[in-house]
Amino acid sequence: MKAIAEKETIRTITTHYIDGAFVESHGREVMDIIRPTDRQVIGRVTLGDEEDTRRAIAAAKRAFATFGRTTNEDRSKLLRRLHEATSARIDDLTAAMIEEYGGVAQFAGQIVETGVNAFREAEKALQEMPLTRSWGKTTVTLEAVGVAGLITAWNANTLFIGLKLASAVAAGCTVVIKPSELSSLQTQIFLECLHAAELPNGVCNVVIGRGDVVGAELVRNPDVDKISFTGSVAVGQGIMRDGAETMKRVTLELGGKSPTIVLDDANLGQAIPTALVMAFMNSGQACAAGTRLLVPKKQLDAVKRAIVEAMRAFPVGDPADPKTAVGPMATQKQYDRVQAYIRKGIEEGAEVLAGGEGYPEGFERGYFVKPTVFVNVKNDMTIAREEIFGPVLCVIAYESEDDAIRIANDSRYGLHAAVIGTDVQRARRVASQIRSGRVVINNMTDDPQAPWGGFKYSGVGREYGRYGIDPFLETRAVLES
Ligand code: NAD
């Protein structure tokens, strides 16, 4: 791999972005940034502490006094500037995503673009959203909720920051962002974009740091009115619990164990490659990954053959190579986690059809795992119930359409699902019975104005377009006598 062979200087990040300026960290803890393809230290970041966080919250609170009263047109202008500034750095943001956590080029470019376009989409949604309604002597207005803490996961940094910041700015909120500390190089580029967009001071502040330090301060601080969080169920539950103390509004975008239902009229030659794309996107480190593949029992042998054939199109490799489908896991912790689940699957009696434990041959220097497909999986096995967050697919056989729907819904998660079949009416009927925030029919597709979010343990609230702006608004009614 070319990137590995090059001799590089170690990059250092020692600042946060507070009140419109890059400021030296008050926190002193230094964390190494490790490249997942070869475990080399490529950077060092100084992590913020509670004091940095409180300074950022104070700046956001001061800025809210005026920003909360801006017009739609004022905020639209800022969204356009943010879109322009981030669009100019798409290549840099993508390259950083590939290097910093091994996001594959195939996917990283799309993710960064969706994140950048979130500003344009929020502007569009804002133009179409009536923020005032009146009848008789009553006027109802939607007002910015106040200071928002935006806490994000590492696996698609620009997307999460883009979605949350765009919605908050559209609503008139000021923010303190705490990105995942595993995304510091990507965040640094984003901060340069933010600075170039020349937002009024204090509207957007960013503190890089640990969740249990910076994130926890945002959650408990009484001057933060809302938390919008993307991450794991366990941390989301803690945020909901701890946020209750100061009556925080919360949006939680959490995990998934998404089903892909292949109906018995599907063309397996198309359905199986599509299902594998959904399972292995972002090397399986995606909340929406379709990790449970539900197939008709009577077609199981044909499905297995189709999977073995289709796996050739999912090579492991250098994430920078556009031909690579599966890159390394982001961290040692992620690598260990995926290995532990593969072992668990074998112990519980599932059969390895492809992949398995250990490193793929020739990829021992990084956190690479083998894309793995299990067959003979029962929906009550650990590998079918828990989110693995790696390229591990469970094939589960069903008896009938009703059985498929039952298995799909027999999960604590409900984020995303897919239905694949030739008869579209039938696929729609099945889709309408899936308890998930999004169901796609016949392929992985996106609509930037369609809501994103989860049923059940997959979360609370929605993002994207006007659905994303709503949770940053409060409703006030003024009644005249
Ligand atoms: P995580 O929950 O460990 O961390 C997410 C963020 O929360 C990080 O910024 C982290 O520093 C912070 N955090 C940790 N402890 C905290 C605390 N006590 N208080 C406040 N903040 C705290 O998750 P992760 O490993 O970064 O991401 C993977 C998870 O995110 C998976 O479960 C995945 O499904 C989920 N995810 C969901 C979506 C979605 O849109 N629904 C998208 C991407 C990822």
pLDDT in tens, 343-382: 999 999 999 999 999 999 999 999 999 999 999 999 999 9
SS3 of residue 349 by DSSP: coil
| Of residues 346, 343, 391, 348, the one with CA closest to residue 368 | 391
What's the gap in Å between 462 CA and the centre of ligand 1?
Answer: 16
Task: Answer whether residue 1 shows pLDDT above 60.
Answer: no
Task: Answer whether residue 4 shows pLDDT above 90.
Answer: no
Which ligand 1 atom sits nearest the alpha carbon of residue 453? 41
pLDDT at 283: 98
Task: Answer whether residue 5 shows pLDDT above 60.
Answer: no
pLDDT tens digits for 419-478? 999 999 999 999 999 999 999 999 999 999 999 999 999 999 999 999 999 999 999 999
Task: Answer whether residue 6 shows pLDDT above 90.
Answer: no
Residues contacting residue 6 through CB under 8 Å, at least 6 positions apart: none
Mean per-residue pLDDT over the chain, rounded: 97
Residue 383's φ and ψ, nearest 5 degrees, are: -70, -20
pLDDT band of 2, cuts 50, 70, 90? very low
End-to-end CA distance of the chain: 74
- Which DSSP symbol is given to 463? B
pLDDT tens digits for 253-263? 999 999 999 99
What's the gap in Å between 235 CA and the centre of ligand 1?
Answer: 7
pLDDT tens digits for 217-252? 999 999 999 999 999 999 999 999 999 999 999 999
pLDDT tens digits for 7-46? 568 999 999 999 999 999 999 999 999 999 999 999 999 9
Q: Is 287 in the pocket of ligand 1 (CB under 6 A)?
A: yes
pLDDT at 7: 58
Q: Which residues pair with 372 in a beta bridge?
A: 392
What's the gap in Å between 390 CA and the centre of ligand 1?
Answer: 15
- Helix (H) / strand (E) containing 296: strand 292-296
Q: Is 272 in the pocket of ligand 1 (CB under 6 A)?
A: no
The whole-angstrom separation of Cα 350 and Cα 375 is 6
Side-chain-facing half-sphere of 377: CA atoms under 13 Å: 28
Q: Which single residue is written with the structure tokens 């979010």?
A: 453
For a mutational test of ligand 1's pocket, the pick from 206, 232, 387, i.e. the residue with the most ligand atoms closer than 8 A to its C-beta, is: 232
